[in-house]
Amino acid sequence: MTISSKDELQFLIHRAWEIEKKFESLSAWKSFVSMGSSNRLTVLTLARESHAHRLNLEKLLKILGLEVPTKEIPEVTFEFEGVLPSEMLSNIVEYDEMARDLYNHILENTNSQIISTLCSHKGNRFYYKVLKQMIEDETKHICMVRKISGLIERIQ
């Protein structure tokens, strides 16, 4: 499915922005508080990089001359009441996989002529560089979380 219109591209970048914003939200901090101290750094790293991704998406929107999101999809939060830390991490991995898949879709399916039309050559390079970097980051996040998720026991 080729992304062949400005509106389609804007819609998908807005969805990515929402995913990143929701991860860095209060619910991510609930997981930070619930984790054992040895795993808090991982959750903090994920939240911090999610914030950087959201800012990069805002830059992309600006460079492409697209609107910044003003309406969000209904609030979807992580629910951690009575959830095992390993289950929390599983939820986090799902979000990271969702973000990675969306970035991959945008990168691989956007008609390059749209990007060239919407921004300068410098902006064009930034667009592809940022998306590739965010795909790498999300892949790294998935590996980080999976690495520790099998090592976590229930916190009483």
Which pTM does this prediction carry?
A: 0.84
**Dist. CA 5–CA 110, nearest whole Å:** 9
Domain annotation for the chain: domains and CATH numbers: 6-68+76-149 (1.20.1260.10)
Question: Which DSSP letter does residue 74 get?
Answer: P
Separation of alpha carbons 14 and 58, rounded Å? 9
What are the helix (H) ranges across 77-120? Answer: 85-109, 112-118
Report the chain's mean pLDDT, rounded to a whole number. 83
- Local confidence band at 29 (pLDDT 50, 70, 90 cut-offs): low
User: Crossing angle, helix 6-23 and helix 37-64, to 10 degrees?
Assistant: 160
Better pLDDT: 4 or 77: 4
